[in-house]
Amino acid sequence: MKEILRHYEDDLKRREKEASTTKMYVHVMKQFNTWLEAKQKKLAQLTENDVFQFREHLVGKGYKVATINKLISVLRTFLVWATKNHYIQMNIPENLRLYEDKRNTPIKWLTAEEESKLLQILTLEKNPFKKARNEALIYVLLYSGLRIEELSHLQTEAVTKNTIQVIHDGVLSREVPLAQKVAEKVFTWIHVRSSTGKEVYLNSPFLFVTERSGKMQPRAIQFVLEVYSEKLGFPITSHLLRNTYCRRLVEIGFTVEQVKQYAGHKSITTSYKYFTFDC
């Protein structure tokens, strides 16, 4: 790689790049080479996935979006050069840039203490039907990160002991791993619901129902969350629970691509926000 970088530097000079530009390009590529060596990988073995992983590495280091885009732009320029000069053979990714949200809206999630208080208050519900349903409902929001509309439309057959399949317009959107504690709450709820023998529940394909309806609409879910918010003295919303889920993925070491995949974010920039520790 060092020899290749010398050739690259010489080529930049031949093309009369400014000295500061040449120095910066070479510095970035040395940084990339250090990362590559840590992975015990050679340039000739480089894949498209490696390039995405390097970007995730920069995200994890806490670089600003503008800085990441600058570094990635330099890397892409080098890769184009290296491909033309037959040092590598790979499809160079097009969609590498991150897009910064200019709104700078801070992201909030539950603290460990708030999460503990929420889980504790769920156990105090005296109505067995509501207790089983509400525990399952909040555990899915908090530990699987579903949007409120996705939870409302979630069908019983889409839940296994290991995963939740999220369906949009009849098409599988994503598959989310289901933690054991969540699976236990969900299947307890299914048992309680079935044991009532009510025809409206037995005929409903939807996982969450109300005492009168075979499908729990988003507004009914919001009402449940509002009740707990009032009891706890701090807001509980589906979005807050989803943010807590995404943040937890980051804290246990998931990559930005994995956060995007499991949360179902349309843009990786949304996932990137959860890696910013001063949100």
137 and 52 in a common domain: no
Residue 177: its H or E element? strand 171-177
Total count of domains within the chain = 2
Report pLDDT for 266. 84
User: What pLDDT score was predicted for residue 101?
Assistant: 56
Q: Which of 4-18, 27-41, 52-66, 213-227 has the highest mean pLDDT?
A: 213-227
Q: Domain ends where: 69, 84, 99?
A: 84
The enclosing domain of 176 has a CATH number of 1.10.443.10
> What's the domain range around 263?
112-275
The answer to whether residue 227 sits within a structural domain is yes
Q: What is the pLDDT of residues 36-76, one digit of tens each?
A: 888 888 888 888 888 888 887 887 777 877 888 888 888 88
Based on the fold, state whether residues 121 and 67 are members of the same structural domain: no
The DSSP element (H or E) to which 22 belongs, if any, is: helix 19-38
CA dihedral over 135, 140, 141, 146, signed as positive or negative: negative
- Tell me: do 132 and 78 sit in the same domain: no
In a domain, 128, yes or no: yes
Vertex 224: Cα angle to 221 and 226 (nearest 5) = 110
Q: Do 47 and 142 lie in a common domain?
A: no
Does the predicted model carry a pTM greater than 0.85?
no
pLDDT (tens digit, 9 = 90+) per residue, 101-157? 555 567 899 999 999 999 999 999 999 999 999 999 999 999 999 999 999 999 999
pLDDT at 143: 97
* Helix residue spans in 154-267 (DSSP H): 180-195, 199-202, 218-232, 238-251, 256-263
| CATH number assigned to the domain comprising residue 27 | 1.10.150
In a domain, 97, yes or no: no
The residue whose two tokens read 């031949």 is 14
Residues 228 and 186 placed together within one structural domain of the fold: yes
> For position 179, what pLDDT does the model report?
94
What mean pLDDT comes out for the span 6-31? 85
Helix (H, G, I), strand (E, B) or coil at 176: strand
What whole-number distance in Å separates Cα of residue 52 and Cα of residue 199? 51
Could you give the C-alpha distances from 208 to 40, 155, 175, 177, 260, in angstroms and in order?
A: 49, 8, 19, 19, 26
Q: What local confidence, expressed as pLDDT, does residue 263 receive?
A: 95
